[in-house]
């Protein structure tokens, strides 16, 4: 199975389970999203709906964008998910989640439905 298919299956699962309640995804998506916007500009977000400190702006210390990162952003937009990394108190800078001898990156994310 390829990575694009994984994101399509995840989108289908989100659609299915969102009917039962709130959505929270967490884990290693192997996605590098830089500071790409994870919502459409017309999304109406109330900070009271999701307890985030920066409802519209997301920070990331990792500026690299890869194919999986673009797929994750597309998933967020189509499923109305928001990346909490770089927005939530305790990680307002979007700190690196993977630190290795050859570099650091943000590949582990927490996402929630707005």
Q: What is the pLDDT of residues 65-94, one digit of tens each?
A: 999 999 999 999 999 999 999 998 889 999
Residue 29: which domain range?
A: 3-113
Give DSSP secondary structure letters for 55-70: SS----S---B-HHHH
3-state percent helix, strand, coil for the chain, nearest multiple of 5: 25, 20, 55
Amino acid 54: pLDDT:
55
Indicate the pLDDT class of residue 20, thresholds 50, 70 and 90.
confident
Amino acid 55: pLDDT:
61
Return d(Cα 73, Cα 39) in angstroms, integer: 8
Sign of the dihedral defined by the CA atoms of residues 74, 30, 95, 47, in that order:
positive
Return d(Cα 19, Cα 30) in angstroms, integer: 27
Amino acid 21: pLDDT:
85
Report H helices in 1-114.
3-18, 67-79
Indicate the pLDDT class of residue 52, thresholds 50, 70 and 90.
low
* pLDDT of 44 over the 60 cut: no
Give Cα 2 to chain centroid, integer Å: 20
Return d(Cα 95, Cα 77) in angstroms, integer: 22
Amino acid 60: pLDDT:
96
CA distances in angstroms from 16 to 7, 11, 79, listed in the order given? 14, 9, 11
The number of distinct structural domains making up the chain is 1
Indicate the pLDDT class of residue 40, thresholds 50, 70 and 90.
confident
* pLDDT of 48 over the 70 cut: no
């Amino acid at each position: 199975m390829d990575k694009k298919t994984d994101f399509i299956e995840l989108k289908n699962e989100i659609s299915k389970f969102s009917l039962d309640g709130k959505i929270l995804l967490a884990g290693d998506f192997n996605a590098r999203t830089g500071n790409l916007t994870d919502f459409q500009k017309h999304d109406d977000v109330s900070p009271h709906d999701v307890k985030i400190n920066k409802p519209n702006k997301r920070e990331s210390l990792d500026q690299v964008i890869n194919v999986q990162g673009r797929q994750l952003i597309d998933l967020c937009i189509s499923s109305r998910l928001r990346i909490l990394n770089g927005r939530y108190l305790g990680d307002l800078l979007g700190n690196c989640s993977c630190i290795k001898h050859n570099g650091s990156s943000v590949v582990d994310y927490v996402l929630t439905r707005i």
